[in-house]
Amino acid sequence: MHDLLKEMGQQIVRHECPQEPGRRSRLFHHEDVFHVLKNNTGTDAIEGIVLQDLPHMKKIRSLNAEAFSKMRELRLLKISVPPIFSQIYPSPIIEWLGNPLEYMPSDKLRYLHWFNCPSESWPSSFQPKNLIVLSMPGSRFKRLWKGLVVLHNLKLLDLSDSEDLIETPNLTGASNLEKIDLARCRSLCEVHPSIGVLKRLKHLSLNRCKCLRRLPDKFCLESLEILDLSGCTGLVNTLDIQGDMTSLQILYFSEPTKKELPSSFMSFSGLRDLTLSGCKNISIFPSVICSLSSLESLHLDGWSRLQKFPDLSSLECLMHLKAY
């Protein structure tokens, strides 16, 4: 959007109620957001809140989580405070009184992005059935919801950099998920079996989940295009592919302990980009790679025991090769 159009739209919203921000449909200026959340002046008029690009400030703002309870028409909430603040000012610039998710109306909510959300638990009362985007990177959750929560509209689940997360929830009720990002969840040790049978999932990242021990026993993701398992050095089981996974185009994979690659690689006939790192125990190049006829890019990292470099002439589509 052009800056002039954006400014015009913001001016129109400000004129909805110049004196009281809580009666406007959208809040995007940090002082207005602070005013409403501190003084509990929210109303049904509020449909969207965006809090980002904060100026450098040392003043600590104490905000009342209960203020969300009056925003029954809230459809969009985006709170993205850059991590630089925690480096410049050791004390937090925002303190929350209460768990925001306990008070947040969920019926109308479509988009929820909250970087470093202060909530440590997922209230049973918070069931945003119309949610499309759930993005909470850097959250403090150990777990999300318990049991089955129906989220048929959910397309994106982002919990990346949530260092306290130890397990993923049951995603059976979120059957339309297209992307799950769990990158750098360093305490994650278990993923729910439902993650392996999401028919519409296109992108799954478990990058650097070093405590993860097992993948789902059943892995049948027929729409999956990108799978990132790089840095998952604690895995003790391999991919058990069941069904068609010819949609997979990009695979990042670490196999630090096994002496051979899983035979399931045979099912990745549509793979175009393959990165294999940390395969220091493999001395004979796996023939399964030479059967990937669509492969265009091959990156081999850490193959220190490889005795002989293979003949890759069968890979007619290969254009990029990097090995060290």
Summarize pLDDT for 53-67 with one digit per residue, the tens. Answer: 776 666 667 889 999
pLDDT tens per residue across span 107-135? 999 999 999 888 888 998 899 999 999 99
The reported pLDDT for the residue numbered 83 is 52
Q: Which is nearest to 292 in space by CA: 318, 262, 271?
A: 271
> Would you say residue 239 has pLDDT above 80?
no
What's the whole-number mean pLDDT along residues 197-204? 95
The reported pLDDT for the residue numbered 91 is 44
More confident residue, 287 or 104: 104
Domain boundaries, the chain: 1-121
More confident residue, 306 or 149: 149
pTM beyond 0.75, yes or no: yes
The reported pLDDT for the residue numbered 289 is 86
Q: Which is nearest to 43 in space by CA: 100, 129, 99, 105?
A: 105
pLDDT tens per residue across span 25-80? 889 888 899 999 999 999 999 999 998 877 666 666 788 999 999 999 999 999 98
Q: How many CA atoms lie less than 13 Å away from 18 in the CB half-sphere?
A: 2
The reported pLDDT for the residue numbered 113 is 96
More confident residue, 179 or 242: 179
Element (H, E) at 117: none
SS percent in the chain: helix, strand, coil, step 5 = 15, 20, 65
179: Cβ contacts below 8 Å, ≥ 6 apart: 155, 156, 157, 158, 201, 202, 203, 204
The reported pLDDT for the residue numbered 236 is 77
Contact (Cβ atoms closer than 8 angstroms) between residue 22 and residue 49: no
Contact (Cβ atoms closer than 8 angstroms) between residue 114 and residue 135: yes
**C-beta atoms surrounding 308 within 10 Å:** 8
What's the whole-number mean pLDDT along residues 174-187? 96
CA 33, 35, 39, 41 torsion: positive or negative? negative
Collapsing DSSP states into helix, strand and coil, what is residue 216? coil
Contact (Cβ atoms closer than 8 angstroms) between residue 63 and residue 95: yes
Q: What percent of the chain has pLDDT over 90?
A: 48
Q: How many CA atoms lie less than 13 Å away from 271 in the CB half-sphere?
A: 26
> Would you say residue 87 has pLDDT above 60?
no
Rounded Cα distance, 176 and 227, in Å: 17
Strands (E), the chain: 26-27, 48-52, 61-64, 76-80, 94-97, 111-114, 133-135, 156-158, 179-181, 203-205, 226-229, 250-254, 273-277, 297-301, 320-323
> Would you say residue 303 has pLDDT above 90?
no
The reported pLDDT for the residue numbered 85 is 46
